[in-house]
Structure 1
Amino acid sequence: MNSNLSRRSIIKGVLAGTAALGIPGSFSAYASENDFLKKESGMLKGNINHSVARWCFSDFDIETLCIEAQKIGIKGIDLVGPKDWPMLKKYGLESAMCNGAEINLVDGFNNPKFHETLIQNYSEMIPLVAEAGYTNLICFSGNRRNITDEDGWNNCVLGLQKLIPLAEKHNVILVMELLNSKIDHPDYQCDRTSWGVELAKRLKSENFKLLYDIYHMQIDEGDIIRTIKYNHQYIAHYHTAGVPGRNEIDETQELNYNAIMKAIHETGFKGFVAQEFMPKNTDKLTSLKKAISICDI
């Protein structure tokens, strides 16, 4: 999330409706010039399935974003609902992480008072995701509101167990996002990998997994590569962004995304890695192309 444009505001809108690229001199730290030129033309290596979060590039209408994503070699768009799926299909792109069933980021499965609404929403959305040929549907723990970890796990299990059979029937994965509670999402409960993994162990279903947001987990726990390698079997999807600031993932921030992508690939991961950063560069597509190149190992 970002102080100027939050995903929360994008989700609210979804729910209401159901250059030639210059190569910076410092780029050599991440990829060779020849590799970069190949990637600019969409010639990616194929080891990482790339996606991009819709809300981060909301300055572009959905068709323009699809066109530009296709040019780069991106295969998916994250965080779009049913109304945008026909446009994605027009350009051969996947809805890599579907949304539209959640209430918001703070009212989630850890609180039983939201279960009735959530179960109804997800019961309606899961078949739509499957019918469209997609797999991942995002969900959230919600804020603690003084709920203990144990009660949070128990409440999430109580709510999600009512949806798991439907998800299994339709081959849809309910994917809970890990968000930091230190800066962007104070009081969010699923703010550590260990918390999400424990929930997955209790649910005991391949149709519940985690969205490992690298930006968020760097802020709240660090130790990114070791954590990914140790817990990869519980992870269905990844998000990126630069730390600090949630901006470009280049040499201006602290994470080595090229090394992180290699670690992800070494786990045998076949899902999507989505760029979810807020570009500071006025030429946002330049930033997106560079991010893809950094992550295309």
Structure 2
Amino acid sequence: MSFTLAVCAEMVHTDLPILERVTRLHHAGFAVEIWDWSSKDAAQLVATGAQFTSMTGYLSGDLTTPDGSADLLRTAEESIPFAQAIGCPSLNLHGTGLGEGGLPDRPLEVVTGDMWLAAERTLTSIARLGERHGVTFVLENLNTEVDHPGTPFARAADTLALVRAVGSPHLKMNLDLYHAQIGEGNLVELIRRSAPYLGEVQVADVPGRCEPGSGEVNWPFVARALAETGYDGVVAMEAFASAGTDAALDRFRAAFTLT
């Protein structure tokens, strides 16, 4: 069993234009992930020859308010033609829109029961949208302690609960193990609970959000535990390079190459 290894082009080779970053990652043997599609040219991305595994699947909106839900659905639908043009099968969502510095557009101190029900309804509509267009939306967990304070439905336990409640193959989890290590820990057990619902796994080490092997997590152990669940999908490095991109890519590949 092996994983499809991808790298987020937004966080490595940061001294280069985005198209050159994508090209370098492709030539290094990695699939590629991107964030905001609205500032990019689909034809130019396709011309790099890269395989794209994930992109941000909305421009604005939230899961709980009537206007925010409508905005999320509208901009998610607007994102689908771009995803189809670059052959990207997964469109990434968060508990609410993220603004400058990753801060939530609508920070919440308390998430009520009514908000949970509203989020389930919104995500059910998102799943139906994905079914109509043959794409899959993935709901990413975040951490509120360091990077995204005030984000609702941020924990992996939250995203798992919502994905399970919707119960559609067109809405899955993007299990970000960097965020989970900060907010929840117990990564192997979290992987086991989440395995039936995974659409993608993202990784970065803690502290610092750099490549696997730069921090406290035993990534080869995590990789074996992930494989033992039967998961053979995308593992994406959404991380900065601690000491040069090429070295960071080598460490990532080594951590998630099963022997």
Q: Smaller-chain TM-score range?
A: 0.7 to 0.9
Tell me, yes or no, if the aligned pair for 1:102 and 1:108 is still in contact at 8 Å.
Answer: no
Percentage of identical aligned residues: 24
Partner residue in 2 for 1:26: none
Residue of 151, 157, 160 corresponding to 1:194: 157
Q: Which whole-Å CA distance do the structure 2 matches of 1:48 and 1:56 have between them?
A: 21
**Residue identity opposite 2:238 in structure 1:** E
**Residue identity opposite 1:119 in structure 2:** L
Residue of 37, 47, 50 corresponding to 1:93: 50
Please state how far the C-alpha of 1:240 moved relative to its aligned partner.
Answer: 1.0
Tell me, yes or no, if the aligned pair for 1:102 and 1:138 is still in contact at 8 Å.
Answer: no
- C-alpha change, 1:117 and 1:95, in structure 2 (3 Å) is same
- The one-character-per-residue Cα deviations of 1:26-66 (angstroms, maximum 9, x if unpaired) are xxxxxxxxxxxxxxxxxxxx711111112212322233223
Q: Which whole-Å CA distance do the structure 2 matches of 1:100 and 1:197 have between them?
A: 18
- The one-character-per-residue Cα deviations of 1:93-128 (angstroms, maximum 9, x if unpaired) are 22211225232xxx5213333122212111222244
TM (norm. structure 2) is 0.86
- C-alpha change, 1:75 and 1:248, in structure 2 (3 Å) is closer
Tell me, yes or no, if the aligned pair for 2:92 and 2:139 is still in contact at 8 Å.
Answer: yes
- C-alpha change, 1:102 and 1:150, in structure 2 (3 Å) is farther
Which of 153-162 and 197-206 deviates more?
Answer: 153-162
- The one-character-per-residue Cα deviations of 1:114-154 (angstroms, maximum 9, x if unpaired) are 12221211122224423543210011112552442523321
Please state how far the C-alpha of 1:173 moved relative to its aligned partner.
Answer: 1.1
- The one-character-per-residue Cα deviations of 1:218-270 (angstroms, maximum 9, x if unpaired) are 011101011101211112111111111112321x4110111111222222223
Give the superposed CA RMSD. Answer: 2.2
**Residue identity opposite 1:96 in structure 2:** T
- C-alpha change, 1:88 and 1:270, in structure 2 (3 Å) is farther
**Residue identity opposite 2:73 in structure 1:** I
The gaps in structure 2 that reach 5 residues or longer are: 97-105
Instruction: Report how many residues are paired.
Output: 247
Residue of 217, 230, 236 corresponding to 1:274: 236
Partner residue in 1 for 2:101: none
Partner residue in 2 for 1:60: 16
- C-alpha change, 1:53 and 1:279, in structure 2 (3 Å) is same
- C-alpha change, 1:55 and 1:197, in structure 2 (3 Å) is same
Does residue 72 of structure 1 match 2:28? yes
Alignment of structure 1 residues 163-242 onto 2, 5 Å: 163-242=126-205
The gaps in structure 1 that reach 5 residues or longer are: 1-45
